[in-house]
């Protein structure tokens, strides 16, 4: 049986954000509700990020209290910061019949896969590590040190793709977009 819960995981720089935007635009065009989960994080906001829209930016104390209160469906430490998916938000969206998209790292994805075996888990891989470095550098959001740390993490992350139901290689944006839309909007994706 197919599920309304979609997990998208990718090393940063794999083109995940662009692909997700394409999927959300498509959903809007066909009048279908897709709820993109807003995670909690202890990371500091980047320029232009809006609290409550991109993330809910919380303190480490607040985050830890939410873990104790079992308020997260999953949570993980990514690049030294804490990230968690709010349980209520996801359950409410699923209960009103909306599709839900989680854009989370592989550690969180594996927790969701364990609890929701029907969830459609999607792993997006970058064309190559060199291309990944290029994309992260071009994006201009992170220092060289952070980029190198992310690339190391990406290599570990790439090994996790076997645990996902679907693998999309983002060599061509058009093909990758078609693949993602097919998984998310086809009636039966088995
Ligand atoms: P960024 O801080 O660059 O937005 O995200 C860093 C990483 O954290 C990305 O791989 C992103 O998918 C992941 N991430 C964002 N939100 C969550 C979450 O709620 N849970 C987990 N496990 N990872 C998350």
CATH code assigned at 174 = 3.40.50.300
107 lines ligand 1 (CB under 6 A): yes
pLDDT for the residue 37: 98
Is the confidence at residue 176, as pLDDT, over 80? Answer: yes
**CA of 8, closest atom in ligand 1:** 12
pLDDT for the residue 186: 84
189 lines ligand 1 (CB under 6 A): no
The CB-based long-range contact list for 144-151 (8 Å cut-off, 24+ gap) reads 146/79, 149/79, 150/11, 150/12, 150/13, 150/79
SS3 118: coil
- Domain contains 190: no
Q: Which domain covers residue 131, as residue numbers?
A: 5-185
- Domain contains 131: yes
- Domain contains 164: yes
- Domain contains 16: yes
SS3 20: helix
Please, are residues 22 and 178 in contact by the beta-carbon 8 Å criterion? no
Read off the pLDDT of residues 132-158 as tens digits, 9 standing for 90 and up. Answer: 899 889 988 889 998 998 888 888 889
Domain count, the chain: 1
Under the banding of pLDDT at 50, 70 and 90, the label for residue 26 is very high
Find the mean pLDDT for residues 173-187.
93
pTM for the full predicted model:
0.90
Ligand 1 centroid to Cα of residue 84, in Å, is 8
- Domain contains 9: yes
Average predicted confidence (pLDDT) for the chain: 93
Ligand 1 centroid to Cα of residue 83, in Å, is 6
Ligand 1 centroid to Cα of residue 163, in Å, is 18
DSSP 141-176: -S-HHHHHHHHHHHHHHHGGGGGSSEEEETTSHHHH
Please, are residues 143 and 150 in contact by the beta-carbon 8 Å criterion? no
Under the banding of pLDDT at 50, 70 and 90, the label for residue 11 is confident
């Amino acid at each position: 049986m197919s599920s309304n819960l979609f997990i998208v995981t990718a090393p940063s720089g794999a083109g995940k954000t662009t692909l997700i935007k394409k999927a959300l635009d498509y959903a809007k065009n066909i009048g279908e509700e897709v709820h993109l989960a807003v995670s909690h994080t202890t990371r500091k906001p980047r320029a232009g990020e809006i609290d409550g829209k991109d993330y809910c930016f919380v303190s480490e104390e607040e985050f830890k209290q939410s873990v104790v209160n079992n308020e997260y469906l999953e949570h993980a430490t990514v690049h030294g910061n804490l990230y968690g998916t709010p349980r209520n938000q996801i359950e409410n969206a699923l209960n009103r019949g909306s599709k839900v998209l989680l854009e989370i790292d592989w550690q969180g994805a594996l927790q969701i896969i364990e609890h929701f075996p029907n969830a459609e888990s999607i792993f997006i891989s970058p064309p190559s590590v060199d291309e990944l470095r290029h994309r992260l550098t071009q994006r201009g959001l992170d220092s060289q040190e952070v980029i190198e740390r992310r690339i190391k993490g990406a290599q570990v992350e790439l090994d996790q793709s076997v645990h996902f139901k679907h693998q999309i290689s983002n060599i061509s944006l058009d093909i990758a977009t078609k693949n993602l839309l097919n998984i998310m909007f086809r009636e039966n994706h088995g």
